[in-house]
A and B are shown apart, each in its own frame.
Chain A
Amino acid sequence: MRLHNLLLLVMILGLFHAAWAQSPTYGLGKTPTAEEIRAWDIAISPDGKELPQGSGSAKEGAPLYAQKCASCHGATGNGGRAPQLIKIDSSATPAPGGKEPPCLSPCIRGANVMGIHSPYGTTIWDYINRGMPFGKEGSLKPDEVYALTAFLLYKNGVIPEDQIVDAQSLPQIKMPNRDGYVLPEWKHGMPRPFPNKP
């Protein structure tokens, strides 16, 4: 009898434990402040909710590009030792010595650049902000990142030269390849669809 009661108690405690599964079990780690999270939170969603205050235009971006980007990416955005950034108008092949990035799907020869290919303008802002310029990553101020993003979008024919790019307008820019991707599905135990038979 007693043993039964004990078992019942253990079972009840077990149920309680399941109900509490949403509360922390280990109590380890420190709660970060909102400010700390903001400082770390640099991945920019396509809806732009993590974008900071600031703005810039292609006109402001042009001298910045010449100063901070051209030495690697080339004065015209192609033919440099770093990947091509600006589409080639007159020819379908990259400039001599130029390094065209691998042709992504859909492959657009001469225009296989982030400013055309990325389905969202936020991707460009995000990458310039986190990864550029080479050797001085993280040194650009938000206004500079907005201006450089605007410059690349203008030079690739996506926006007009005088458009102000900021946290509100950047997610609204309709990129030419907006619908050019399909997300893969993933479920536990899911095989690839093909070819699965020899």
Chain B
Amino acid sequence: MDSKKASRRKFLKGGAAAAAVGAIQSASGQTPAPVKRSLKDEVAYGERSHYVTSVRVAVNERPSPDEFGLTFHVLTPLQDSVGIITPSALHFVGTHRGAIVPDIDPREYRFLLHGMVDRPLEFTLEELKRFPSVSRIHFLECLGNRARPEHKTVQQTTGLTSCSEWTGVLLSVLLKEVGVQKGASWVVSEGSEEVKGAGSFPLAKAMDDCLVAYGQNGEPLRPQNGFPVRLIVPGFEGIYNTKWLRRMKVVDRYYMTYNDYGHISNDPKVAALTFQWGPKSVITSPSGGQKLSGRGVYQITGLAWSGGGAVRKVEISTDNGHTWKDAEIRGDMHRMAHTRFGMNWKWEGQECVLMSRCTDELGQVQPTRAQVAKVFNVPPDYYHTHGVPGSDNTVVPWRVASDGSVYNALA
């Protein structure tokens, strides 16, 4: 038994005694007043503490509300996140034209599955719930999730991703129920919002692991997230995860809808970087806009995920990418889901750049912008000011200044 441990124990004991005295004092003199709550909050549906003020914000690439009075995409406050589940009320929102959410009576809801099938069928919500349900944790991420030099916080650089437990019926179960015909190769899914947003994706993916989901984090989907039913296409770009799902058609070709057309490229190298997200991670704390209160121990923590499956490892660099150390995975790992990582870190007051890097189950490693630049034969810093081709899964660096302030190191 070394004396260090013994003295530490003694210290802890003393600390506990001091804390107990503090509690007594507080009980006699400074008991906090009870929180005033409405009956609705106290009984029906609980609110978070009024001390918790973490909120979503609109993207800053375009004014909000815009010329049509619409709010465009809304960002999740990743800087305040703990664990891997995004509270439903803080889930990011990406809509076709901005903020238009259809008001669908779940009793009137219908989902039509047709096209190259033996038996086209129309399901009510009640019927969808009579199929065996599955619940899976998956991230969603908008193709627009691209860090830019002018972004100040991780909410701005990376807030177009969120992670929920989704509950519903496997799309493959429904496709088997209608009997997919030979020669079918694509599906077109369609929402019931004002533009009836539609997109084409491979039948192989539809048969693989997609969910026709009606539940999110233990309750029905939120209206902004597709109430009453949406599609979950795990690991694919957000746009394929059709909200307010009304129809799916099984077809034998790419349909080139408006959404599809907006995502095409004539470069096979770029096309190959669409559909499925690559391995990605970001440090959520310390991150841009935060400030370390002084020298000492901190947790470097963040989220990692991949459209290719589970996260295999996350590495952290505290020296601008010169050396890397394995981070701990803190919590459970799920395929195509946010995964929490962390590392103890002692800050000695030096200026430094923090980065994280994800490797997934397929062995794919998250690239830096310079590495992408090399592939596309442009100058190393080209993608600091230009969007990277395909979906952007590049490393986001944070610069810690000597006063503890944290900045976007792309700036």
Contact = CB atoms under 8 A, between A and B. Distances in A.
Interface in B21-71: 67-68
A22 interface: yes
B267 interface: yes
A18 interface: no
Interface string B336-380: 000000000000000000000100001111010001101100000
A184 B179 CA distance: 26
B257 A31 contact: no
A42 B197 CA distance: 11
Interface in A52-67: none
B23 to A, nearest CB: 51
B150 interface: no
Given A30-B122, A37-B112, A123-B258, A194 B308 contact: no
Q: Which of A32, A130, A183 neighbours the largest number of chain B CB atoms within 10 Å of its CB?
A: A183
A106 B255 CA distance: 20
B11 interface: no
B61 to A, nearest CB: 10
B9 interface: no
B365 A196 contact: yes
Interface string B250-273: 010111111011101111111111
B118 A37 contact: no
B371 A32 contact: no
A46 B256 contact: yes
Contacts of B118: 22
A78 interface: no
Contacts of B253: 45-47
A40 B371 CA distance: 46
Given A32-B120, A126-B257, A131-B196, A182 B268 contact: yes
A96 B112 CA distance: 45
Given A105-B270, A123-B258, A42 B123 contact: no
A170 to B, nearest CB: 13
B374 A195 contact: yes
B69 to A, nearest CB: 11
B73 to A, nearest CB: 14
Contacts of B130: 26, 28
Contacts of A23: 179
A187 interface: yes
Nearest to A72: B68
A198 B205 contact: no
Nearest to B195: A131
A181 B249 CA distance: 23
Given A32-B122, A81-B68, A184 B255 contact: no
Interface string B361-401: 01111010001101100000000000000000000000000
Contacts, number: 179
Contacts of A22: 118, 179
A180 B177 CA distance: 37
Contacts of A26: 130-131, 177
Interface size class of chain B, counting residues whose CB lies under 8 Å from the partner chain: 35 or more
Q: Which of B201, B261, B270, B278 neighbours the largest number of chain A CB atoms within 10 Å of its CB?
A: B261
A9 B278 CA distance: 48
A192 interface: yes
A145 to B, nearest CB: 14
A24 B119 contact: yes
Nearest to B208: A188
A29 B123 contact: yes
A188 B256 contact: no
Interface stretch (A86-94, A114-122, A149-157, A159-167): A114-122
Nearest to A127: B258
Contacts of B292: none
Interface string A125-161: 0110011001101000000000000000000000000
B114 A45 contact: no
Nearest to A179: B266
B127 interface: yes
B367 A184 contact: no
Nearest to A187: B204
B119 A186 contact: no
A43 B195 CA distance: 12
Contacts of B96: 131
Nearest to B201: A186
B364 A196 contact: yes
B264 A130 contact: no
B286 to A, nearest CB: 23
Contact of A36 (B122, B123, B188): B122
A32 B265 contact: no
A136 to B, nearest CB: 9
B325 interface: no
Contacts of B251: 45
Contact of A43 (B67, B249, B278): B249
Interface string A79-107: 00110000000000000000000001110
B105 interface: no
**Shortest beta-carbon contacts, A-B, top 8:** A29-B121, A131-B195, A181-B264, A81-B67, A127-B258, A182-B271, A105-B265, A191-B362
Given A123-B261, A184-B271, A187-B204, 20 more contacts: A28-B131, A29-B123, A36-B122, A37-B114, A40-B114, A43-B198, A46-B253, A81-B68, A104-B264, A119-B264, A123-B257, A123-B260, A131-B97, A131-B196, A134-B68, A137-B194, A180-B264, A186-B275, A186-B276, A192-B273
